[in-house]
Amino acid sequence: MAARIDFAHLSLMDALDLAVLIEEEAKERYEEFAAQMDQHRTPEAAKFFRLMAVNEAKHGQELADRRSQLFGTAARTVTRAMIFDVEAPDFDEARAFMSPRQAMKAALASEVKAHAFFVAALPALKDAKVRALFEELRDEEVEHQDLVKAELAKLPPDSGLSDEDFVDEPTAQ
């Protein structure tokens, strides 16, 4: 069975490792979404998802560096099985021919989801350093949301058309 996170006894090293894993999962999901968009000839959304993957990788690397400065090469005790879709966008957020706006909205939803994860975990945390880290991560999610919102604001207004307006209806064979 998938192990659960014991927030009450989470050490700073474990908390940093979890944060790295969360970023890794999100990075992989964005890469998968980008590949799906390539596959379905949706290049603008693919480009945006790739950008998000790079951002998640960068953030993950920063956290990993911090972890190694503090704890060196001490063996990791937390696993990917403990997290599921914390900051990674949900699989069903992707659609063929999605617009950049839809892609950004999917990313925004995942940042909101990650923020909710850190907020929900805070009351259970006992270690002051872990709490400080989670508060920092929570606040960063708000910053990320603001960044995505800023990108969204740069987009031209919606055409008002939906996929149904220009994608051929699937036909029977």
Partner 1 sequence: MSATCEFQAKDYKSDLKPIWCPGCGDYSVVQGLYRALAAIGRPPHEVAFISGIGCSSRIPGYTTAYGFNTVHGRALPIAQGIKLANPDLLVLAAGGDGDGFSIGGGHIAHLIRRNIDITYIVMDNQIYGLTKGQLSPTSQKGRTTCTSPYGSLENPVNPLLYVLAYGAGFVAQASPTDLAGMAATIEEAIRYPGFAFVNVQSPCVTYGEEAQQIKGLKAISENLAAIGHNPADRLAAMDLAQHYGEKLHLGVFYKNPEPPPTYDALIRERQAQLSQGALPKERILDLFIKK
- Interface positions with partner 1 (CB under 8 A): 1-2, 28, 32-33, 35-37, 39-40, 42, 79-81, 84-85, 90-96, 98, 170-173
Closer Cβ to partner 1, 85 or 135, answer by number: 85
- Minimum CB separation of residue 146 from partner 1 in Å reads 27
Burial (0-12, 13-18, 19+ Cβ within 10 Å), 93: middle
CB 155 within 8 A of CB 98: no
Give the helix/strand (H/E) hosting 119.
Answer: helix 100-121
- Minimum CB separation of residue 47 from partner 1 in Å reads 15
- Minimum CB separation of residue 114 from partner 1 in Å reads 15
Closer Cβ to partner 1, 161 or 169, answer by number: 169
Residue with the two structure tokens 């975990």: 121
- Minimum CB separation of residue 129 from partner 1 in Å reads 27
Closer Cβ to partner 1, 45 or 137, answer by number: 45
Closer Cβ to partner 1, 156 or 170, answer by number: 170
C-alpha distance from residue 168 to each of 39, 97, 162, 172 (Å): 18, 12, 12, 12
